[in-house]
Structure 1
Amino acid sequence: MIEATKLFWTHVFDFQTRSTRSDFWWAALGNIILSIIVSFVAGLIFGNSTAGSAAYSIIYGIVGFLYLIATISIVVRRLHDINRSGGWWWIQLIPIVGGIILLVFELTATVEVGNRYPKMER
């Protein structure tokens, strides 16, 4: 889980390679745990003060934006792992059905034979 979370954050702008199913799901779990810890620590540091709230909002906005880019990136890499174009990421915009289709893609096993996308360097 730690290795997958590191890969998630060190490959934020990698939209060319592949991410395995286990890397994808371990990174998801690692980021949930990481966000709980960071939120707790931020609450202790910034407290309820107005200045603390402003600083927290700025930091949260920057980290949130990076997290959004990294999430799109890992979904695209996961799609590449099943030999699908990253353009399939947009299917989730179709209400209800799109999210289910994307989830099925994320749960699909790796396609090795004939996969046109390179493996990620660890």
Structure 2
Amino acid sequence: MQWYLSVLKKYAVLRGRARRKEYWMFSLFNVLVASIISMVCVLFASPEVGVSVLCLYLLLVAFPGFAVTVRRLHDIDRSGWWILISCIPVIGPFILLYFNFCAGTTGENRFGEDPKGI
């Protein structure tokens, strides 16, 4: 939970680096929260309300998700502009997924200190 909250606290920070753990824990909690919202809305509300609440949640976490992805790219010593590779149909999202699985550069790189060392 601390990883999820730390990303939300740094929602507008595009500088620095993010560890794999920070990125993937944020992604995991996003999936869990979205699933819980979906289940609760299906069980206790109409489908229209469920879709509206889910869309509102996804809009609220869209920019923090973008920011943590940029910081994750910085950790592997790539510019944040590499996020645009996901716009390439079919293969682009898989390339970005591969980048998110890559280990970060050891030590300091041009985007800052190693987050594991801090």
Which TM class, normalised by the smaller chain length? 0.7 to 0.9
Equivalence for 1:48: 46
Residues matched between the structures, number: 115
1:46-85 alignment to 2 at 5 Å?
47-48=45-46, 53=49, 57=52, 59-85=53-79
Range that drifts further, 74-83 or 60-69: 60-69
Aligned residue for 2:65, secondary structure, equals helix
- The CA distance in 1 between the partners of 2:18 and 2:97, in whole Å, is 15
Would you say the 8 A contact 2:34–2:57 is kept in 1? Answer: no
CA gap 1:76/1:39 in 2 versus in 1, 3 angstroms: same
- The CA distance in 1 between the partners of 2:51 and 2:95, in whole Å, is 36
Deviation per CA, 1:62-83: give whole Å up to 9, x if none.
4322221111111101001111
Q: What is the identity, as a one-letter code, of the residue corresponding to 1:69?
A: F
- The CA distance in 2 between the partners of 1:49 and 1:91, in whole Å, is 34
Stretches of structure 1 that go unaligned for 5 or more consecutive residues are none
Aligned residue for 2:15, secondary structure, equals coil
- The CA distance in 1 between the partners of 2:8 and 2:41, in whole Å, is 20
Aligned residue for 1:34, secondary structure, equals helix
Q: What is the identity, as a one-letter code, of the residue corresponding to 2:46?
A: N
CA gap 1:43/1:110 in 2 versus in 1, 3 angstroms: same
Once the two structures are TM-superposed, the CA of residue 32 in structure 1 deviates from its matched residue by 1.1
| TM-score, scaled relative to structure 2 | 0.79
| 1:38 matches 2:32 | no
RMSD: 2.6
Q: What is the identity, as a one-letter code, of the residue corresponding to 1:97?
A: I
1:1-122 alignment to 2 at 5 Å?
2-43=1-42, 47-48=45-46, 53=49, 57=52, 59-119=53-113
- The CA distance in 1 between the partners of 2:92 and 2:112, in whole Å, is 26
Deviation per CA, 1:78-99: give whole Å up to 9, x if none.
0011111000000011112211
Once the two structures are TM-superposed, the CA of residue 103 in structure 1 deviates from its matched residue by 1.2
Range that drifts further, 36-45 or 10-19: 36-45
Aligned residue for 2:22, secondary structure, equals helix
